[in-house]
Amino acid sequence: MTHNYLDVDLIRASAATGDIPVAVLTLNRPDKLNAMDVETRRRLAAAIREFGSDDIVRGIILTGTGRAFSAGEDLASVPTTFAEMHEAVRTFHDITRAILQTTVPVIAAVNGLAVGGASEITLCCDARIGTPNTTYFQPENHRGIIISNASSLLLERLVRSHAMRIVLGSNRIDADDALRIGLLDEVVPADRLVDRAKEIVGQWNWDPRITALHLELLRPALADVEAAFAREDSAAEHAWDCGAFTDGVTGFWASKTAATTSLIEGKTT
């Protein structure tokens, strides 16, 4: 059975949106912190492409439901073969590709925890707006997983030397730190998050003809992004071949099981 964990809302032109239409794409799987399976990632890329020209909307907003933007890869459906892993990485890459191919601003409204591939998706967005609850977390280096979504290029482009500590240290970056280093552009109250993203779309895309040209000039070149994808794919293959990926994911689930067992035993003693 397949499930649809992506809500698509087309907000028509009104005074609230500055008289412009906006598409809000919401990851909606709060019981799993909006973790994305392969099908959800495919749907997200398709929705971005559907609304990515200025024919329907003037901008796209990405956000999540509940306390997380997204926990990233759904490790409950972890790949068991290299082909499955390659497809998982490819579907993450394709979301980044779809965003960079749009002709309208794409705003990440990061409502809470953004982990791994999900945090990497925000890196290619044209703005990242957070709340005091926003936290970025790149755990891949401690889980045998390789960063993706061209984050090997895009993260350093945003935060320069901080990229190394974010990836290798796998430390959580809170909203204040994210704002300080340039990972977030603004921090607003949670109840203002999506509205503020709508305001930015209205302010930025006054004339879609000119905005589209500036987006192409200011965004990273797609050729450079594709080259980053290729380097990340090669690194992912090495991680698979040497067993680091399998060991890392196995260790992650072992720690989760141990924590759950400890919690249950604590309640029954």
Active-site residue flag, 140? yes
In the structure encoding, which two tokens stand for residue 55, read together?
């024919």
d(CA 209, CA 189): 32
Looking at the chain, which runs of residues are DSSP E strands? 6-11, 22-27, 59-64, 68-70, 106-110, 113-115, 127-130, 135-137, 173-174, 186-187
Q: Please state at what angle helix 151-159 crosses helix 222-241, rounded to 10 degrees.
A: 120
**Of 39, 73, 120, 199, which residue is the catalytic one?**
120
d(CA 190, CA 8): 20
Please say whether the beta carbons of 29 and 62 come within 8 A.
no
Active-site residue flag, 120? yes
**Of 39, 73, 87, 140, which residue is the catalytic one?**
140
Count of residues making up the chain:
269
In the structure encoding, which two tokens stand for residue 219, read together?
């965004």
Residue 241 gets the label, from left (phi > 0), alpha (psi -120 to 50) or beta, of: alpha
Dihedral of CA atoms 95, 101, 106, 110 in degrees, nearest 10, equals 20
CA neighbor of 199 nearest in space, from 13, 18, 25: 18
CA neighbor of 64 nearest in space, from 6, 15, 117: 6
Positions marked active-site: 120, 140
